[in-house]
Amino acid sequence: MNLAGKKILLGVSGGIAVYKACELLRLLQKKGAEVRVCMTEAATEFVAPLTFASLSKCPVYQKNGAVEARPFQHIDFPHWADLYLVVPATANVIGKFACGIADDPVSLCFMSCTCLRVVAPAMNVAMYNSPAVKRNLEILRGFENTVVLESPAGELACGEVGQGRLMEPAEIVKFLEGEGFPLAAAACASSATPSPRGVSPKTPVPPAIPVAADVPPTQDDTLPGHGKKVLLTAGRTEEAIDPVRYISNRSSGKTAVALASVFYANGFEVEVVAGPMEAAFPGGVAVSRVQSAREMHDAVMSRLSNVDAVVHCAAVADYRPAHAASEKIKDSRSQLTIELVPNPNILRDCVAARASQSAAGAARQVIVGFALETDHFKEHASEKLTKSGADALLLNAPVASDSGFGHDCVRYALVRRDGTVPEMSMGSKVDLAQEIVDFVLEKLG
């Protein structure tokens, strides 16, 4: 099958091999295919839907209801597709397919799908060899327009050795591009004869090529950020008043997760220094956790010499208590005065360190800062950019309804060092992230 121009729906169910679905999506796109994604709730625990949305440039169909979700996605997505891939397919979702249960996006799409369907099992060897799973796989092989890929033997994520591994993404693409693939599903259906108990006999499936033990996905050397490393700050910082109280800023971390996802999708090696936050980072991103502004400062400065770009996305507290109480301050209802002292300015210290590195002959880094403002946007952004010395400043304003903190959209503008401040526009945090990534790529040449 020629994958160029094909519309492929990728169904992702919850297993440790979910990260390989990200690699498969990129490989399909390289072949010229357009890919959309649906996920089970369990799959979102392994890789955030935002990662797949960033890679596919399309909202992910998920059970908990994405903002962009439509009421008939379980019909629209399968009808749109030329091919439905379920990668990885867990024992749970395979059982649903075989028994006609449709209670999550992946099984709903399987039920309503009329195009070719390819199922790639992935699970522990004991589960793969269990009578129930074997029976369910036999049933699926008897379905019309359905192909079940073999699971190669090898070392599994749990440490055991045996069948149950997910076929490597490159081998799945190779299988789809094989001359006999479009006929495989028809061959399965035409040669299957239901047994008295309703279980179809096994039909021939093109053999899988043996693969090596599990390894993390390699970065695609055709992606623009390949060979480059970016450091992000994320979340918020918390400055202790006493053991139970602190000073902080509002931040869910969603913008940082969008940045990490889009940088990773563009081939960058991504490292994050993250304060407390609610959003979860995608697999493949290295995350170091900190609590206070000083901890974040030390973590960033220790990593600075090894990266090509730094994006300061964290909501860092400007001040901290001069003295944190060792015991909880008792509630006497009397007036309490807290002496504050300034925290280090991480952005400015990075710019100063870059200047020293440049003087020593090191390659110039790209540094992008963030500025959250609630009034006089352009004036404040221009002033902050000039004082910081950064290459650009992402101005954002969480003042509109259903945007900003904890939401998927925000009002923003990327301010560059050419003296002009563009008008702010409302967009998704993925769009914001893509604009920053494009700027960094431009500056890196």
- Please tell me the chain's helix, strand, coil percentages from 3-state DSSP, rounded to the nearest 5: 35, 20, 45
What whole-number percentage of the chain has pLDDT above 90?
A: 40
Mean pLDDT for the stretch of residues 382-395? 89
What whole-number percentage of the chain has pLDDT above 70?
A: 81
Residue 404: give its domain's CATH number. Answer: 3.40.50.10300
**Of the candidates 191, 218, 237, which is a domain's last residue?**
191
DSSP secondary structure code for residue 82 in this structure: S
Residue 87: give its domain's CATH number. Answer: 3.40.50.1950
* pLDDT, tens digit (0-9, with 9 covering 90-100), for 108-117: 999 988 899 9
Give the model's confidence band at 370: pLDDT under 50 very low, under 70 low, under 90 confident, else very high: very high
pLDDT at 195: 35
- Regarding whether 438 and 352 lie in a shared domain, the answer is yes
For residue 271, is it within any domain?
yes
For residue 245, is it within any domain?
yes
For residue 54, is it within any domain?
yes
**Of the candidates 168, 191, 214, which is a domain's last residue?**
191
- Regarding whether 301 and 440 lie in a shared domain, the answer is yes
pLDDT at 105: 92
Q: Is the pLDDT of residue 358 over 80?
A: no
Task: Please tell me which residue in 109, 158, 188, 409 is annotated as part of the active site.
Answer: 158
Catalytic, 409? Answer no
pLDDT at 287: 92
Q: Is the pLDDT of residue 421 over 70?
A: yes
Residue with more model confidence, 442 or 69: 442
* pLDDT, tens digit (0-9, with 9 covering 90-100), for 45-93: 888 888 888 888 888 888 765 444 454 456 778 888 999 999 999 999 9
- Regarding whether 183 and 307 lie in a shared domain, the answer is no
* pLDDT, tens digit (0-9, with 9 covering 90-100), for 308-330: 999 999 999 999 999 988 888 88
- Regarding whether 250 and 158 lie in a shared domain, the answer is no
pLDDT at 129: 87
For residue 214, is it within any domain?
no
For residue 40, is it within any domain?
yes
Domain residue limits at 173: 7-191
- Regarding whether 63 and 183 lie in a shared domain, the answer is yes
Give the model's confidence band at 25: pLDDT under 50 very low, under 70 low, under 90 confident, else very high: very high
Indicate the residue type of 383: E
The CA distances from residue 338 to 111, 132, 237, 243, 329, in Å, are 62, 64, 18, 15, 11
Q: Is the pLDDT of residue 190 over 60?
A: no
The CA distances from residue 233 to 17, 39, 295, 343, in Å, are 28, 28, 12, 16
* pLDDT, tens digit (0-9, with 9 covering 90-100), for 192-236: 333 333 333 333 333 332 333 333 333 567 778 889 999 999 999
pTM for the predicted model, two decimal places: 0.57
- Regarding whether 185 and 42 lie in a shared domain, the answer is yes
- Regarding whether 169 and 104 lie in a shared domain, the answer is yes
For residue 222, is it within any domain?
no
For residue 349, is it within any domain?
yes
Cis peptide before 71 (omega within 30 of 0): no
For residue 2, is it within any domain?
no
d(CA 286, CA 303): 12
Mean pLDDT for the stretch of residues 15-40? 91
Q: How many domains does the chain have?
A: 2
- Regarding whether 380 and 325 lie in a shared domain, the answer is yes
- Regarding whether 168 and 84 lie in a shared domain, the answer is yes
- Regarding whether 255 and 114 lie in a shared domain, the answer is no
Q: Comparing C-alpha atoms, which of 316, 429, 422 is closest to residue 369?
A: 316
Average pLDDT, the chain: 81
253 three-class SS: coil
- Regarding whether 187 and 242 lie in a shared domain, the answer is no
**Of the candidates 138, 173, 191, which is a domain's last residue?**
191
d(CA 5, CA 9): 13
- Regarding whether 235 and 186 lie in a shared domain, the answer is no
Q: Which of 214-218, 353-357, 429-433 has the highest mean pLDDT?
A: 353-357
pLDDT at 240: 92
Contacts of 158 (CB under 8 A, 6+ apart): 124
